[in-house]
Amino acid sequence: MKDVAYIALGSNLGQREVFLAQARGAIAALPRTRVLGQTVVEETAPIGPVAQGPFLNQMIAIETELSPGELLTELHRIEAGAGRVRRARWGPRTLDLDIVLFEHQSVHEKGLTIPHPELSKRDFWLSELASLRSTRVD
């Protein structure tokens, strides 16, 4: 089943712009997936208790036939390829890829909740999502 998914991209270590660009390319190359749109990259303050530098953030809309679980597996693979190491929750990272929302699916499983449980707490996600939904061309 084709569906539209919204993915948040973030980076606050190393060559942040490069990590975001590589992630966009890797997501665009996923099977049965095409990019529908993307927001501008913006810098935001980190969230959480760990001291760290600011993030570059962006959101993309994709049309995909991948299931939410398959998409999550692919996003984790892309993160690992960028040197992402999962240590402290909300800690610094080379690349963070979050499934924020699917248009027609919700998921409540261990390790995957869609819509993302932090969506309502992140103003930049809400504005990026609104921007993508208002300008998306299918």
Q: Distance between CA atoms of 117 and 131, rounded to whole angstroms?
A: 20
Task: Name the CATH superfamily for 3-135.
Answer: 7,8-Dihydro-6-hydroxymethylpterin-pyrophosphokinase HPPK (3.30.70.560)
Catalytic residues: 84, 93, 96, 98
Quote the pTM value: 0.92
Beta bridge partners of 110: none
pLDDT at 10 (0 to 100): 94
Collapsing DSSP states into helix, strand and coil, what is residue 11? strand
Instruction: With residue 19 as reference, give the H or E element that holds it.
Output: helix 16-28
Q: What is the pLDDT of residues 32-88, one digit of tens each?
A: 999 999 999 999 988 877 778 899 999 999 999 999 999 999 999 998 888 777 666
Task: Identify the pLDDT of residue 32.
Answer: 96
SS (H, E, C) 45-98: CCCCCCCCCCEEEEEEEEEECCCHHHHHHHHHHHHHHCCCCCCCCCCCCCCEEE
